[in-house]
Amino acid sequence: MTSIRTILAFTAFALSITGFAHAQQSVHTVSTPAAPPAWAVMERALLDANEKACKDFFEKYFDQNGFLLCVERWGGDDGPDDAIENCNDWPILHALGADASILEMYKHAWEGHLRQYTLAKTTHVPFARDGMYYKEFPVTFDWLHNGEGLTVFNLQGLSDPYNSNFHKRTRRFAGFYMNEDPGAPNYDAEHKIIRSMFNGSRGPLMRKATAVDWAGDPIEVKNRFKLGHGEESYEQMLFHFKDYNDIIGDLPQNLLATSLGLNAYMMSGEGKYRDWVLEYIDAWRERCIENDYIIPSNIGLDGKIGSATDGKWYGGVYGWAFTVEVPQDGSFAHRNTTWLGFTGFMNAYLLTGDDKYLDPWRQQIQKINAQGKLVDGVMQYPTMFGDDGWYNFQPARYNQNALELYYLSQNPEDRDAVGPNAWLDYLDGNNDGYPLQALSADFANIQLRAKRLRDDETTPDTRLADDPMAINPASVRSLISLMLGGIHPGHRGSPLYAAVRYFDRDAQRAGIPDDVAALVTGLTAESISLQLVNTSQTQSREVTIQAGSYGQHEFGHVTIGTEEIECNSRYLTVILEPGCATNITATLDQYVNQPTMQFPWK
């Protein structure tokens, strides 16, 4: 590669709230400049395209108060969570290096939707009659939807960890699940359960749920709205949710609540949050083992598997046996979302690096695929379990969360369960065309959504909160994999899992500096390789690289160009002269540091 003047800043993390102690710096100079490669130019252009498209989107769909221009509703078809989901991936976009306006817009939308849905009230749903939000949090709802609605907030700490409102809310939200708020007794510390599928700032709903609880107030549908599930009347909406009753007790989806405790710990460093996350996950891990390594979909109020659903470990809403009738045509839909629980095990792994939190899911994948059978001469594998055993066999092997499992473990034995994956092939050195292909796909997605925006003829009174989601242009999947060596966290309130992140010390912000592009070219359990390019031909740029999305890793022996040094730090700072680039390889000790939201210079 080419010329670079490199400063390596070694920083040791002090395990206290006070922050970081700085060590001696070392300076290195390497080679001469060259033209930036195509991937670097495309990467910078994709960041710019995202910024412009998001500004157009925000201008069309949000008002000056940050309110979404739509009809406010409560429910699983459309509700408060959908409003802020329209800014999904914007926190990651800014943390990658996009313009500060992205941060300001999504924060404005977050604040606006809190006020909008605190003011919005139901007439028929009893627990939301005084506001759909209380104490800036959903009053009581399931974590499939709570997690979606917290996706933006839970990633704000990537770029804005010192915001005072963020601090207060992070503690308050986690406190709802640690019995710190007497009005929200969601957690049973004796049995280590969250007491209901419906939980939130007003506590758990301790009765069977009704279709109205899920569907919300009566609403005109036909010729006005297009519902996401295709219902054409309020009666069909009620029919959609008629079997969504068994919510008492704990369910795997509640494990998403651990992201609140994890966030509070990474923001504050206070051990009580870490302790609660591990206590709750440890209890679920034991239940998985007790249930022959299949995560049960109901835990009763007595802490016993299946005791709230007639002893059936597979019972409950969104459980292993949750097959419901579709109102429009009488067909059946299989709505097993127990896989959401793996986010909790990932959070525990981020805190500990202990494979015991991954092994239950590894075992579950293997046990489900062991149930495969020949159907009309084709091997098929189940996804559901009911009174008559395994059912809903599909040609593809069961691999729910297999990519996340392999990404965390970096265990070659877990790779087979993932199946074909172009990014992993690239990291293995077998798909050189992947970077340009992935970047091109995100450009195409922005183009598609920009066209949808231009073609959208809805008005605020014919628009539901989730309608603009298909138009939200933020396209970051390629940038997460290429720049960060990371995986997309999904839209369920999960933290970001990445091998590296970048910071701009000069601008005092998260994200790669202007003009700089980065490409992770290799990643194993012990090492990482990447390229840095300064596309500016006139300005030097300083980049601080962090080992892990939250500093959970540590760089060891580092080679920059032809220079070799011992880093032994979670930070590495490189100054790129105009038009310069370099290859960096480093040994990587994974999950050896406690994760933190602190910036490198704090």
The mean pLDDT of 181-194, rounded to a whole number, is 98
Rounded to an integer, what distance in angstroms lies between the CA atom of residue 146 and that of residue 173? 12
Kindly state the average pLDDT of the residues 171-184: 98
Q: How far is CA 178 from CA 151, 167, 184, 320, in A?
A: 20, 17, 9, 28
pLDDT score of 395 more than 90:
yes
- Which pLDDT score is estimated for 400? 97
- pLDDT of 158-171, one tens digit each? 999 999 999 999 99
Compute the radius of gyration of the chain from its Cα atoms.
Answer: 24
Residue 109 lies in a domain: no
Judge whether 17 lies within some domain. Answer: yes
Element (H, E) at 301: none
| 88 domain residue, yes or no | no
pLDDT digits (tens, 9 = 90+) for 199-209: 999 999 999 99
* Separation in Å, CA 167 to CA 160, 171, 295, 422, 511: 10, 6, 33, 39, 21
Looking at residue 31, its pLDDT comes to 53
Q: Do the beta carbons of residue 288 and residue 365 sit within 8 Å? A: no
- Tokens representing 321 are 């046996």
Could you tell me if 231 and 237 are in contact, meaning their C-beta atoms sit under 8 angstroms apart? yes
| HSE, side-chain direction, 13 A CA sphere, residue 143 | 30
φ, ψ of residue 601 in degrees (nearest 5): -90, 5
DSSP code, position 208 = -
First-to-final CA distance of the chain:
33
Which amino acid, 108? H
**Whether residue 68 has pLDDT greater than 90:** yes
> What are the pLDDT digits (tens) for 1-27?
444 444 444 333 333 333 333 333 333
29-43, 259-273, 365-379: which has the minimum mean pLDDT? 29-43
Residue 371 lies in a domain: no
| Listed residue (564, 580, 584, 429) closest to 499, CA to CA | 584
Q: In angstroms, rounded to a whole number, what is the distance separating the alpha carbons of residues 441 and 26? A: 40
Query: Within a domain: residue 202?
Result: no
Per-position b or e across 542-562, b if 16+ CB within 10 A of its CB? bbbbbbbbbbbbbbbebebbe
Within 10 A of 85 (CB to CB), how many other CB atoms are there?
23
pLDDT score, position 2: 43
Strand-strand pairing, 378-380 and 384-386:
unpaired
Q: Is 24 helix (H, G, I), strand (E, B) or coil?
A: strand
Residue 404 within a domain: no
What SS3 state is found at 581? Answer: strand
- pLDDT per residue as tens digits for the range 494-503: 999 999 999 9
pLDDT category of residue 602 using cuts at 50, 70 and 90:
confident
How confident is residue 34, by pLDDT bands cut at 50, 70 and 90? confident
**Identity of residue 472:** N
509: CATH: 2.60.40.1180
Residue range 96-137, pLDDT digits in tens: 999 999 999 999 999 999 999 999 999 999 999 999 999 999
Number of domains in the chain: 1
135 within some domain: no
Give the pLDDT band of residue 186 (cuts 50, 70, 90). very high
In whole angstroms, what is the distance from residue 101 CA to residue 518 CA? 22
Report d(CA 72, CA 70) in Å as an integer: 6
Average pLDDT, the chain: 94
Q: What DSSP string runs through 321-376?
A: T-EEE-TTT--EEE---GGGGHHHHHHHHHHH--GGGTHHHHHHHHHHHTT-EEET
**296 phi/psi in degrees, rounded to 5:** -70, 150
Q: Is the pLDDT assigned to residue 345 strictly greater than 70?
A: yes
SS (H, E, C) 26-82: EEEEECCCCCCCHHHHHHHHHHHHHHHHHHHHHHHHECCCCCECCECCCCCCCCHHH
pLDDT digits 0-9 by tens, 560-597: 998 999 999 999 999 999 999 999 999 999 999 999 99
Given a contact cutoff of 8 angstroms between Cβ atoms, the answer to whether 509 and 102 are in contact is no
Query: How many Cα atoms within 13 Å fall on the side-chain side of residue 596?
Result: 28
Q: Is the pLDDT of residue 64 over 80?
A: yes
Type of residue found at 126? P
Percent of the chain with pLDDT over 70: 95
What pLDDT does residue 527 have? 98
DSSP structure class, residue 467: G
Rounded Cα gap, residues 342 and 548, in angstroms: 20
pLDDT in tens, 351-383: 999 999 999 999 999 999 999 999 999 999 999
| C-alpha span between 560 and 530 (Å, rounded) | 10
Please determine, for residue 450, whether its predicted confidence score (pLDDT) is greater than 70.
yes
Residue 214 φ/ψ, nearest 5 degrees: -85, -40
How far apart, in whole angstroms, are the C-alpha atoms of residue 409 and residue 417? 13
The boundaries of the domain holding residue 520 are 4-32+499-589
Place of tokens 């993932």: 418
> For the ranges 17-26, 79-88, 189-198, 447-456, which has the lowest average pLDDT?
17-26
Q: Is the pLDDT of residue 63 over 90?
A: yes
> Helices 258-268 and 271-290 meet at what angle, rounded to 10?
150
23 assigned to some structural domain: yes
> What span, in angstroms and rounded, lies between the C-alpha atoms of 22 and 9?
8
pLDDT tens by residue, 489-538: 999 999 999 999 999 999 999 999 999 999 999 999 999 999 999 999 99
Q: Residue 274 in contact with residue 281, Cβ under 8 Å? A: no
Q: Would you say 345 and 285 are in contact if contact means Cβ atoms under 8 Å apart?
A: yes
DSSP for 368-428, please give it. Answer: HHTT-EEETTEEEB--EEETTEEE--BSSPP-TTHHHHHHHH--HHHHHHH---HHHHHHT
402: nearest Cα among 413, 414, 384, 394? 414
Rounded Cα distance, 124 and 363, in Å: 44
